[in-house]
Amino acid sequence: MKAKPTLKRRGLLAGGNWLTDHVKMIDALPQPERLAQIRAHQQGGGGAPCNVLFSLAACGVSFPLYAAGLVGHDAPGNWLLAECKRRKIDTKNLGTTKDSATGFTDVMTEQPGGRRTFFHHQGASAKWTGEDLDFTKIKAKQFHLGHLLALAALDAPDRQFETKAARLLARAVEAGMVTSLDVVTEEGGRLAELVPPALKFTDYLIINEHEAGRITGFKVREPDGKLDTVTLRHAAGALLQKGVREQVVLHFPEGAFARSRKGDDVWHASVKLPAKLIAGSVGAGDAFCAGFLIGIHEGWETKRGLEAGVCVAAASLLAPDSSSGVQSLNAALALGKKYKFHPPLERADEF
């Protein structure tokens, strides 16, 4: 599909699953019929568009931010709308409904260690299709969509485009927007089934290594858990072959990797943040995404965008929720300067 000119466009529109996260710090995930102690509890925003936009607002970006999605006509939905207003995020396309409650996720985070277990209810987000979005009138330069597999109406089949998500992205491309996509980690075969139709209309696919493996069928980690950098590159190449238009960007605890359609490979290690500073890893992937999206909007080289991504992700680790650890882009970048980065990924420099 040929895109229309993107002149006069500025800013980022993020659409998808809006919800609240109930982050509970527990001593350990219990066996069935056993007890776990909740040591602390915190509520925050959740879902791809919320996490990305809240992090971008905290970073202090100069371009406008726009929200799209659906929340319930209830207290959590009102809280999300109020938080957007406080952060100067445009909510004209963030609707409310009385038919469904706002979605939520109970996030159980083990202390120590930070291992997370999620209990998720899509709520109102399950009904959002984006059909009401008029991309020809929305002035944003970029459209970020997420998380697929957590948006029932968009995961539904479409006679022409295979999925409703692919149709929505196709409309954004036709209007001249730069598109990016994120998905939710899920076991089983739905990733390989539902994500590929959308890739033909995705300029930038920004996902984690497990999701890349599930979509392509590659085992990107060795039996001992070590990242297989060779296989990771093959997975990125396979995703490009499935239709990604510009760049595949993969993030993981060790860092990030990007491969462009031109064949350029770029690696960046994660920040060597002391373990005692890590309060939780909820939303770290979305925080990385926010940092990298700044680079796309501003036309940075990939290396700089990856650095922003891993640094904003590191900042998000400073708080239990998804985005309150992010204070500003400069503060995030300062974490990289202060604590340095982990050693380059094994074998990465060979390619």
- What per-residue confidence (pLDDT) applies to 346? 57
Query: Does the residue 276 lie in any domain?
Result: yes
Query: Does the residue 239 lie in any domain?
Result: yes
- What per-residue confidence (pLDDT) applies to 351? 33
Count other C-beta atoms under 10 Å from residue 161's C-beta.
18
pLDDT tens-digit series, residues 241-263:
999 999 999 999 999 999 999 99
Q: CA 273, CA 276: separation in Å to the nearest integer?
A: 8
Query: Does the residue 7 lie in any domain?
Result: no
Q: What is the CATH number of the domain that holds 48?
A: 3.40.1190.20
Tokens, residue 213? 């493996």
Whose CA is closest to 48, among 118, 151, 130?
A: 151
- What per-residue confidence (pLDDT) applies to 283? 87
Q: CA 307, CA 121: separation in Å to the nearest integer?
A: 33
Tokens, residue 347? 């074998």
- What per-residue confidence (pLDDT) applies to 3? 55
Whose CA is closest to 238, among 297, 280, 192, 201?
A: 192
- What per-residue confidence (pLDDT) applies to 161? 98
Q: What is the pTM of this model?
A: 0.94
Q: Mean pLDDT of residues grouped by 10 in the chain (351 residues)?
A: 65 97 89 92 92 98 98 97 98 97 92 81 97 96 97 98 98 98 93 98 98 97 96 98 98 97 96 92 93 98 98 95 93 98 68 33
- What per-residue confidence (pLDDT) applies to 350? 38
Q: How many whole angstroms from its chain centre is CA 263?
A: 24
Query: Does the residue 118 lie in any domain?
Result: yes
* Domain span holding position 324: 12-350
Length of the chain: 351
Pairing label, strands 157-158, 90-97: unpaired
Within 13 Å of residue 195, how many CA atoms lie on the same side as its CB? 32
Number of domains in the chain: 1
pLDDT tens-digit series, residues 311-324:
999 999 999 888 89
Do 302 and 311 touch, CB atoms closer than 8 A? no
Query: Does the residue 1 lie in any domain?
Result: no
Query: Does the residue 2 lie in any domain?
Result: no
Instruction: Determine the longest span between alpha carbons in the chain, in angstroms.
Output: 59
Query: Does the residue 6 lie in any domain?
Result: no
Query: Does the residue 28 lie in any domain?
Result: yes
